[in-house]
Amino acid sequence: MKTKSKREEGAPQKKEKFLPILLGSDENVYGNVRLFREAFPVTPLVLCGALLVGVRKSRLCEVRVVPGLDREEVFVPTLRAVLEEKGKEAEKIVVVPCSDYYAELLSRHYGEFEGRISNATLPPEQIEELNRKDRFYEICKKYRLDFPKTRVLTREEGAGSLSPAEEGFSYPVVLKPENSNATEYLHCHFPGKKKVFFLHDEEQYKKTVEAVYAAGYTGKLILQEFIPGGDDAMRVVNTYSGNDGRVRLLCLGQAVLEEYSPATLGNYAAVITRGDDDLYEKIEGFLNAIHYVGFANFDLKYDRRTGKTLVFEINNRPGRSSFFTRAAGCNLMKTMVEDAVEGKPCPTPIRTAKTALWTEVPRGVLMKYTENEELKREIKALWKKGTLYRTLFCREDKGLRRRAAVLRYYYSFYKNYRKYYFKK
């Protein structure tokens, strides 16, 4: 006679060790899904307000689209219900926000989730302090992180008669919202809108300021000196700091090419991984001093005039291009789980130094729009050697519909660069 299994008898099922929940649906999310899958036998859950190409038709994760998820009145009850549901299936849950607005929402309401999230997040006051460029640069100065000459403009100053030249700035200058990924700016619409503006004279400056504020933006603007150098002068550092406020991983990349469409201007399109112990030392000291927890993404630029690497900003989440860290030989999500889930943080911070290439764009785009000939030769060598990583191309995710969507997106960069590329 056939006996019933324990499952059939309704016996309680063994819980999974942990479950990752990722907030968003872009390439950043998909890259982190891949990192979790590579290191652990888990199927991450993706919560998003809209379905983007990053996770569309993916077989690597469970996706739930919740319209309006970026609004507090939707976000809080949705995440609370999901944590309660998944808490019955997993012993621990980690939540990884992959955009600034999700990171801020999670921070503001972290205490309302009754200790169900294992990885720590920054308190909202600290996020606000780091997002406010005037305060952020004061902290940088205190802990000896170099940054460009900067003037923070209030709405009254920006819309008034303040002149960059009178403030000691030489054209061209850089102008950007205090936080270009903040919900308020994302919801502003006006002709010529960009994340970052490169302005070459007084008339261009005034017209841009007027357009930004006429569109309903009420926040501050950042006026900054332009640091000479093309895309290859940009640097990016991704880090993870444990629940105890100590840095556990640092990974540096040199930008090869940035994106140029107005909505994504300044995002990295290709990165070569590097190492720099002096820079690592400064950033580690900075983060440890302010008791930072979780992921951080630093945007920086190398100033060939002084030999200094200057900090532009910090984002309290994995960077949009954070999959470049995998090219460097590390796994951000594995480091986080070892700390927040297993309670076994690496005793000595990981500092990557391996050289490899991560790219979001096709080789033809990369070779045409990369201006540095030495970097072109390095790209060819790395491509030939096979030390190449691309976020959206995954052998384990081969569905025909997904492949078609990814290829359409991938090859759309040819048209995108023809339309928007300009020399800085």
Q: How many domains does the chain have?
A: 3
Enumerate residues 6+ apart whose C-beta is below 8 A from 265: 194, 195, 196, 258, 259, 420
2 inside domain:
no
10 inside domain:
no
Q: What is the pLDDT of residue 11?
A: 55
H, E, C per residue of 128-187: HHHHCHHHHHHHHHHCCCCCCCEEEECHHHHHCCCCCCCCCCCCCEEEEECCCCCHHHHC
Q: Mean pLDDT, consecutive 10-residue segments, the chain of 424 residues?
A: 45 84 97 98 97 96 97 97 97 96 95 94 94 88 93 76 84 85 76 88 90 87 92 97 97 97 90 97 97 97 96 93 97 98 95 97 96 95 95 93 95 96 85
- 210 and 263 together in one domain: no
- 185 and 294 together in one domain: no
Range of 389's domain? 231-420
Q: What is the pLDDT of residue 1?
A: 39
231-249 in b/e form (b: 16+ CB < 10 A) is bbbbbbbbbbbbbeebbbb
- 281 and 174 together in one domain: no
Q: What is the pLDDT of residue 265?
A: 85
- Residue 241, both tokens: 């700091």
128 inside domain:
no
Is the separation of the CB atoms in 89 and 19 below 8 Å? Answer: yes
131 inside domain:
no
Q: What is the pLDDT of residue 157?
A: 75
CA atoms 104, 138, 220, 29: torsion sign: negative
Q: What is the pLDDT of residue 50?
A: 95
Q: What is the pLDDT of residue 4?
A: 44
183 inside domain:
yes
- Tens digits of residue pLDDT in 193-209: 888 898 999 999 989 99
198 inside domain:
yes
**Number of residues that make up the chain:** 424
- 213 and 237 together in one domain: no
- Cis bond upstream, residue 172 (ω within 30): yes
- Tens digits of residue pLDDT in 272-297: 999 999 999 999 999 999 999 999 99
In the chain, the amino acid numbered 40 is: F
- Tens digits of residue pLDDT in 377-409: 999 999 999 999 999 999 999 899 999 999 999
138 inside domain:
no
- 268 and 347 together in one domain: yes
The DSSP result for 76-140, as a single string, is HHHHHHHHHHHTTTEEEEEEEE-SHHHHHHHHHHGGGGTT---S----HHHHHHHHSHHHHHHHH
CA atoms within 13 A on the CB side of 236: 30
Domain finish residue from 225, 245, 262: 225
- 112 and 189 together in one domain: no
CATH of the domain at 166: 3.30.1490.20
Domain finish residue from 184, 205, 225: 225
- 280 and 173 together in one domain: no
- 161 and 96 together in one domain: no
CA atoms within 13 A on the CB side of 412: 10
Distance CA 342, CA 92 (A): 10
Domain finish residue from 183, 210, 225: 225
8 inside domain:
no
Total-model pTM:
0.89
- 79 and 191 together in one domain: no
- 24 and 109 together in one domain: yes
- Residue 223, both tokens: 């006026």
- 47 and 70 together in one domain: yes
- 308 and 362 together in one domain: yes
- Tens digits of residue pLDDT in 103-140: 999 999 999 998 999 999 999 999 999 988 888 999 99
Residue 105: count of CB within 10 angstroms of its CB: 23
Q: What is the pLDDT of residue 182?
A: 65
Rounded to 5°, the CA angle 356-359-361 comes to: 155
Q: What is the pLDDT of residue 158?
A: 64
CATH of the domain at 342: 3.30.470.20
CATH of the domain at 34: 3.40.50.720
